[in-house]
Chain A
C-alpha cells in the first residue's frame, strides 16, 4: 500500500473514532442522567412529578416535586421568544437574502454573528438593567423581571441561528424560481414572500426549531431576567422559574444523593430528551428540504 492511501485510511479512521466518541459521550450523558434520576422516584411518585405543579424541596413538613410549573415556565418563555424571533428572524433573512444591497449585507452579516457570540450573562445583565426597567414602566409591574423579559432576551439569542440558517435555506432555492417570479412583474419582496419562503419552508422550519432548542436550553439569561418565582405562571407578566434555572440555582446547594438532588437530575433528563428530539426533528426536516431541492 502506498503512502497516500495509508494517509487517507488513517484520516478516515480518525474521523470514525471522532464520530464514535461523540456518540459515546451522548449515550454516556444519557445513562448518567437516567441513573441519577431514577432513585428520586423511591420517595416521589412519578404521577406527582408529572401532574402537579408545586416544586418545593425546602418545605418544612413534606417536600413536593411537581414539575408542571417549571415546564409551563420554560414553555412560556420559549414560545414567547419564538413569537418574537420567528417573524423577526425570517423577515431579516428574507431582507438580507433578497432585498438588501450588497453593502448592507456585508455590514449586517458580521453584526449578526457578533450577536451570536455575546455571552449569555451579558444578555441577562441587559435584561436586568435595560429590558426590566422598561417593561416595569410600560406595564406598571414591580421590576420587570418576568416571563416576557426572558422571552425578549431569548429571542435575541435565538435570532442569529434563525436568521443565518433561514438565509441559507432561502439561498438554496433554485434561482429559476426567483427569475420566473421577477419576470412576471413581481417585486423583490413579493418574490421572497410568495415564492422563496414557501419553497424554503422546511429549511426555515428547521432553522426555527434549532432556535427553539437554543431557547429551551438557555440558562443564565432566564435565571437572571425572569425573577424565578416557583409558582405556576399566570400570564406573560408573571415571574417564572424555568427548568434550566431551577437546576442551576438549586443543584449547588442541595446535598448529594438526596431526593432533591435526584429530582433535579430528572428535570435535566426531561430537558435532555426535549432538546434531543427538537434537534433530531429539525435535522430530519432540514435533510428532507435539501433532498427536495435536488
Chain B
C-alpha cells in the first residue's frame, strides 16, 4: 500500500447483527485524499462496513461492533467519542438521493444550523461554496428557495453531496451514490468524486466494476464478510492475487 499515514485504520474488525456475523476480521488502512472503492457481491457487507465508519449502525438495535476502527488514531467506538461529533467529521451520501422535503437552500444549510451556526452571511457563503463544490450551483442558483424534491434524481444526489460538504467533513462515505442515476448523471457524480478527492478522504461502495476502475485509487473486495483482497485499483483489476477476485471482476459470479 502507499506510504502515506492512513486516515482510517480498521483492525481485526467484526460486526454482528444479533447473532449473525456479517463482517469477519476486517483489517485495512484507508489513505487520505484517496478514493477507496469497496466492491463485492450483494449482501457481502459493503454497506455495513461503510456504515460502521460513521456509526450509522448505532440505529440498529442489537447490532454490535468488535475490534478497532481508528480515524486519525482515535478509536471511534470508544465511549469517550461523541457520535454526533464523529458524524460531522465523517459525512455520508446514501444510495437513494434523500433530500429533506425543504428548500434547496435549507437542505444545504441544515447541517450548518444544527451545528449551531447562526450567522446568515456565513451560512449563505457556505451554501454557495458547497453547491459549487458539488457542481450544482449553476443549475440551482436561481431556485434556491424551491423545494428540493423538484430537482431531478441526479441533481438531488448532487444536492446530497453538497449537503454533506457544507459541514466540511474530512471523510466522505458514499454508498452506491450513482446506482439510481442515469449515465449522464452518473458521469457527473464520478467527475465530482475525482475532483473531491483532492480535499477529502473518500470511501465509495459500488456495484459497477468500471466505475471502481475509473475513479478509485484503492479497491477492497469483500465476500461474505471477508476482506478477500485489498490493494491498488490498477493491481486488483489487472493482476489480482486471489482467484475469487479475478472471477468476480470478470463477472463470472455476483
Complex-state Cα separation, A246 to B85, whole angstroms: 59
Query: Contact at B110–A183, with CB atoms within 8 Å?
Result: no
What is the count of residue pairs linking A and B with beta-carbon distances less than 8 angstroms? 65
Query: Contact at A176–B96, with CB atoms within 8 Å?
Result: yes
Complex-state Cα separation, A190 to B111, whole angstroms: 11
Assuming the A-B contacts A184-B164, A185-B85, A185-B167, are A179 and B98 also in contact, with contact meaning beta carbons closer than 8 angstroms in the complex? Answer: yes
Chain B interface: which size bin?
20 to 34
Complex-state Cα separation, A179 to B94, whole angstroms: 9
Q: How far is the CB of A290 from chain B (nearest CB, A)?
A: 15
Query: Contact at B98–A180, with CB atoms within 8 Å?
Result: yes
Query: Contact at B88–A185, with CB atoms within 8 Å?
Result: yes
6 additional A-B residue pairs with CB within 8 Å, beyond A187-B114, A195-B100? A177-B101, A180-B98, A182-B59, A183-B164, A185-B167, A199-B101
* A20 CB within 8 Å of chain B: no
Complex-state Cα separation, A194 to B163, whole angstroms: 15
Note all chain A residues with C-beta closer than 8 A to B99: 180
Q: Mark B103-124, 1 if CB is under 8 A from A, else 0.
A: 0000000110111000000000
Tally of contact residues, A, Cβ under 8 A: 19
Q: How far is the CB of B160 from chain A (nearest CB, A)?
A: 7
Assuming the A-B contacts A180-B100, A180-B160, A184-B167, are A194 and B114 also in contact, with contact meaning beta carbons closer than 8 angstroms in the complex? Answer: yes
Complex-state Cα separation, A183 to B84, whole angstroms: 8
Query: Contact at A186–B111, with CB atoms within 8 Å?
Result: yes
A186-201 interface (Cβ within 8 A of B):
186-187, 190, 194-195, 198-199
Partner of B114, one of A102, A174, A190, A199: A190
* B188 CB within 8 Å of chain A: no
Chain A interface (Cβ < 8 Å from any Cβ of B)? 102, 174, 176-187, 190, 194-195, 198-199
Across the interface, name the chain B residue whose C-beta is closest to A188: B84
Note all chain A residues with C-beta closer than 8 A to B91: 183-184
Assuming the A-B contacts A176-B96, A177-B100, A198-B101, are A183 and B114 also in contact, with contact meaning beta carbons closer than 8 angstroms in the complex? Answer: no
Partner of A186, one of B56, B61, B114: B114
Assuming the A-B contacts A176-B98, A179-B94, A199-B101, are A184 and B111 also in contact, with contact meaning beta carbons closer than 8 angstroms in the complex? Answer: yes
Q: How far is the CB of A132 from chain B (nearest CB, A)?
A: 44
Query: Contact at B98–A177, with CB atoms within 8 Å?
Result: yes
* B220 CB within 8 Å of chain A: no
Note all chain A residues with C-beta closer than 8 A to B56: 179, 182-183
Q: Which 7 pairs between the two chains have the least Cβ-Cβ distance?
A: A185-B88, A184-B111, A176-B98, A186-B114, A183-B92, A185-B87, A190-B114
Q: How far is the CB of A104 from chain B (nearest CB, A)?
A: 13
Q: Mark B207-235, 1 if CB is under 8 A from A, else 0.
A: 00000000000000000000000000000
Complex-state Cα separation, A187 to B114, whole angstroms: 8
